[in-house]
Amino acid sequence: MDQVEEVKSKVDLVEVISSYLPLKKMGRNMGGLCPFHAEKTASFMISPERQVWKCFGCSLGGDVFTFLEKIEGWDFREALEELAKRVGVKLKQFEPTDKSRVRDKLIEINKLTTKFYSHLLFNHPAGERARKYLAGRGIKKETWEKFKLGYSPDSWDTLFKFLIKHKIPTADVAMSGLAIARSGSDRSFYDRFRDRLIFPISDSRGQVMGFSGRVLDANAREAKYVNTSETPLFVKGSLLFGLDIARSAIRDSNEAVLVEGEFDVLSAHQAGVENVIASKGTALTERQVAMLSRLSESVVLCFDKDVAGDNAARRGIELLDMAGVSVKVADLGGAKDPDEFAQDNPKGFTAAIASASNIYDFLIDSAVKRFDPKEADGQKKIGREILPVL
Ligand SMILES: [Zn+2]
C-alpha cells in the first residue's frame, strides 16, 4: 500500500466533511447542503462504505483529497500533508513545499507568542493593568482562558528578545508581522504590540494566524486596535474572530451570530450565546461569507443600529444572500452595542438573538425612517435602496 492509500485508509470521510457542514443520515448515505453551490434542498451525498462524495446538483465529487482541495483551496500535496499529520503518518516521498514550510514556521512563532502573552496576562506582575481592565469590562477569567487572551508589555523589544532566545531567526520574526524594522541601517526591530490587551485570531481549526491588540488607556493617542501586518497566514478579510471557538455551536444551531468587535464576542459568550463571531469592524468579504455558508444556513447580524443600513454592510448582506444564507437582524433595543447589551442584560440579549427578524423588514424600516415615504423623492430613494437587495 502506498502512502497516499495508507493515509486515505486511516481517515474517515464522514468525519472530515462533518467538520465543515451539518450532515444527516439518508438511508445508507450521509447527506447535506452542498458547500460548493447554493441550494435549499440537500443534494450533496457521502457514501461511508465507498468513502466518496458526490453532489447531484453541481455534479462535483471525489474522495477526501478532492474535498479538502475544493473547500480549503489546497493543492493535492497540501491536503495529503494535512491529513497525514492528523492520522500520524510520516510521509517519506513528499518533502514539504516551501509554502507549507513558511506556514508551519509562522504558526510555530504565533503559538510561542500566544503562550508568552497569556503568561504575562495570567501570572506576571506586568499584566496587572490588563487584568484590571478586563475586570472593569466584566470579562471573567474563564473567558480569558477560552479565548487565550494575553498582554503585550509596555516595552520595545520584550517579545522580540523572547523569540530570539527561543532560537527563532530574525528573518522569521520579521516575517511574522510581530516586529517592525527600525528605519536606518542598524537592522534592529521593535515589537508591534506594546502595552496592549492581545486577542489571538485563529483559523477554524484553532491555529493562531495573527493577533489584534487593544490599547488599555482610554485617552491613548494611538489607534484603539492594531493588528498583525499581512503575512502569508494573516490575510485581511480571510478570518473571523472566534470562529474556532464558536464553530461547533454554529454547526449545532445551524446559525451564526455576527458582531463587529472582540468584546462583543467575549460578552456574548459569557451571556451563554456561543455561536458568535466577529467580522472585526470591516465589511464581510467573499471568503468570510464562504466560510460561514459552509457551517450554517442562517446568519444573525448583531451590529450597532446604524451599521446594518450602511453600504458596506449591505454588500455583506448581498454576499450572504447570494450564498444562499438567510440573513436576520437582532434588535439591540437601547443598548449601544452587543457588548453592553450582553453585559447589562444577558437574558434580554439571548432573547433578542432568538427573536431576530428578517433582513428585508429591517431594511425597509431603516429606509422608511430616513426617507419620507409620502414624498415622491423619498419613495424613489427608498426604492433605490431596497430593490437591489430584494
Ligand atoms: Zn453542489
**373 CA to centre of ligand 1 in angstroms:** 42
**266 CA to centre of ligand 1 in angstroms:** 35
**24 CA to centre of ligand 1 in angstroms:** 16
**37 CA to centre of ligand 1 in angstroms:** 5
The cell numbers describing 48, all together, are 461511508
Instruction: Dump pLDDT digits (tens) for 298-345.
Output: 999 888 765 555 666 677 788 898 888 999 988 888 888 899 999 999
DSSP letter string, 25-67: EETTEEEE--TTS--SS--EEEETTTTEEEETTT--EE-HHHH
DSSP annotation of 309: G
In the chain, CATH 3.90.980.10 sits at 98-227
**Spatial distance between the Cα atoms of 211 and 229, rounded to a whole number of angstroms:** 9
Q: If you average pLDDT over every residue of the chain, what do you get?
A: 88
Mean pLDDT of the 183-204 span: 89
CATH code for the structural domain at 98-227:
3.90.980.10
Helix (H, G, I), strand (E, B) or coil at 225: strand
**86 CA to centre of ligand 1 in angstroms:** 27
- Report the pLDDT value the prediction gives residue 93, as an integer from 0 to 100: 66
Mean pLDDT of the 358-368 span: 78
Determine phi and psi for 387, rounding to 5 degrees: -55, -45
**53 CA to centre of ligand 1 in angstroms:** 10
**Pick among 3.10.20.30, 3.40.1360.10, 3.40.190.10, 3.30.70.270: CATH of 243-386:** 3.40.1360.10
Instruction: Dump pLDDT digits (tens) for 46-94.
Output: 999 999 999 999 999 999 999 998 887 677 887 898 899 889 988 876 6
Q: Which residue has the higher pLDDT, 360 or 308?
A: 360
Q: By C-alpha distance, which of 220, 318, 306, 302 is closest to 263? A: 302
Q: By C-alpha distance, which of 173, 180, 236 is closest to 209? A: 236
**59 CA to centre of ligand 1 in angstroms:** 6
**219 CA to centre of ligand 1 in angstroms:** 52
- Report the pLDDT value the prediction gives residue 381, as an integer from 0 to 100: 81
**45 CA to centre of ligand 1 in angstroms:** 10
In the chain, CATH 3.90.580.10 sits at 3-87
**354 CA to centre of ligand 1 in angstroms:** 30
Mark residue 195 as left, alpha or beta (left: phi above 0; alpha: psi -120 to 50; beta: remaining). left
Look-up: residue for cell 484553532? 206
- Report the pLDDT value the prediction gives residue 201, as an integer from 0 to 100: 96
Class of the domain covering 3-87: alpha beta
**212 CA to centre of ligand 1 in angstroms:** 36
**61 CA to centre of ligand 1 in angstroms:** 9
